[in-house]
Structure 1
Amino acid sequence: MSMMQEFKDFASKGNVVDLAVGVIIGAAFGKIVDSLVADVVMPVVGRIFGGLDFSSYYLPLNGQASNLALAEAKKAGAVLAYGNFITISLNFLILAFIIFQMVRLFNKMKKEQPVAPAVAPVTPEDVILLREIRDALKK
């Protein structure tokens, strides 16, 4: 089998297509969660912690002035951008929680599907004949 045929067989399997769709939807969903964290959650958190943009909190490590914007401080040297790390960590936690809830919902849907009634196994003819002989000998 040629390599192109093998690749075609691999790519046409349902799991590969499902994975590709999942990756695309996951990327789009990640952007939605990024926006939720950056535009909705973090402004509220920033307001609680003094009204500043929380993602721009940093500790200067190279002797820069601490009143510079984060981008300017990074140009001047190394900084510990803990606010950005906290924002991204919160983004991850929200995304992980939502994915957990989705998986939980799908697992519940799988369990609720009706199970087909069990069909009694067919007894082989020789076993039936042996049972009749046994019963006849008991009499």
Structure 2
Amino acid sequence: MLSEFKDFILKGNVLDLAVAVIIGAAFATITTSLTEDVIMPLVSAIAGTPDFSNMFILLGAVPDGVNATDYAALKAAGVPMLGWGQFLTVVINFVILAFIIFMIVRYANKVMKKAEEADAGPSEIDLLTEIRDELKKS
């Protein structure tokens, strides 16, 4: 059983999956930074608000002593609200990450297709042309 587990772990698919998870986590931090530090400040500047992720709609009463304009404080106090700015930030982050993954998979498929074509060797037409040329020489 231990050797079967070892064989399973050492299979290419499992190692590929582990690498993909690690790279995916790295991409997630990059895209989060891109979204929060580059894209959303631009969107906030266009919309006229300094911090877009703090945009929300209150759905309930604000307890005494809690700042009614502080999203984090309201959330910590358990005030019901729609945090649409934060949700929009997360959606944009997801779209960026999905696009990056799409581009990587697209590029990898092109590279793999070229490698398969190179490994396939000459086509039948190339072989027949070569035979014809050899026969003409004789």
Q: Same fold (TM over 0.5)?
A: yes
Match of 1:38 in 2: 36
Aligned equivalents of 1:32, 1:116: Cα separation in 2: 41
Q: Which runs of 4+ in 1 moved over 3 A?
A: none
Match of 2:72 in 1: 71
| Correspondences of 1:1-139 after superposition (within 5 Å) | 2=1, 4-64=2-62, 67-74=68-75, 75-113=77-115, 114=118, 115-117=120-122
**How many pairs are equivalent?**
117
* Structure ranking higher on relative contact order (CA contacts 8 Å, 6+ apart): 2
Aligned equivalents of 1:18, 1:81: Cα separation in 2: 37
Displacement of 1:102 in angstroms is 1.3
The one-letter amino acid of 2:101's match is: I
Displacement of 1:51 in angstroms is 3.1
Judging by fraction of residues, say which structure has more helix: 2
Larger radius of gyration: 1
Q: Which runs of 5+ in 1 are unaligned?
A: 120-139
Q: Which runs of 5+ in 2 are unaligned?
A: 125-138
TM-score under structure 1 normalisation? 0.76
RMSD: 1.9
TM-score under structure 2 normalisation? 0.77
